[in-house]
Copies of this chain bind each other. A is one copy, B any other.
Amino acid sequence: MSVSPARPRCSVFIAISADGYIARADGSIDWLSRVERAGEDYGYKRFFDSIDALVIGRKTYDTVLGFGEWPYADKRCIVLTRRPPVAPRSNEVFFAGAPTTLLEQLAQQGVQRVYVDGGAVIRAFLAEGLIDDLVLSVVPLLLGEGVSLFAGRGVERSLRLESSESFASGLVQLRYSLART
């Protein structure tokens, strides 16, 4: 009888406007350009190098497909969706089950840290207590309207501030951890 490996650590690393939006109503993220600075990636590469797999939602997937080149070729990528899969662009796979089931499978495959991305997927993982750390990069802008990261109907969760860092661009990065429930 084998012991199940612990579930992978699940991490969010996302940019939000100061009023809590992750995209305009039409999905566009053009406004992120105001904090683009040469030689400054706000820790993204270090974070990305630390993860073994991505779990993204269908909207994020469709957005990424629009970028042209598939950026995640060297990572496992799971698209969490109940909609019909499309022909994969690269190595991505589609999964229609529950987050906990997916994490059990990933643990069996040796995955230790997962990058959870996309509003709906982040909210689903948060609701089930599956997010371990949350990095919010707050862009100095009120978008006024758009796609909310936190769209209500969520569950109360205590956060522990691990660090906060501000950058010359006006971006403030808040790093939180969540206790496992």
Q: Which positions in A face B, CB cutoff 8 Å?
A: 18-20, 34, 126, 134, 136, 138, 140-146, 148-150, 152-161, 163-164, 166, 170-172, 174, 176
Contact = CB atoms under 8 A, between A and B. Distances in A.
* Number of chain copies forming the complex: 2
Top 10 A-B pairs, shortest CB-CB distance: A144-B154, A19-B150, A161-B170, A20-B20, A140-B159, A164-B166, A142-B157, A145-B152, A164-B172, A144-B156
B172 A156 contact: no
Nearest to A162: B170
A102 B161 CA distance: 40
B144 A155 contact: yes
A154 B142 CA distance: 8
A154 B145 contact: yes
A126 B170 CA distance: 20
Nearest to A165: B164
A145 B127 CA distance: 12
Given A144-B156, A145-B152, A166-B161, A138 B19 contact: no
Contacts of A164: 164, 166, 172
A154 B20 contact: no
A105 B149 CA distance: 39
A140 to B, nearest CB: 4
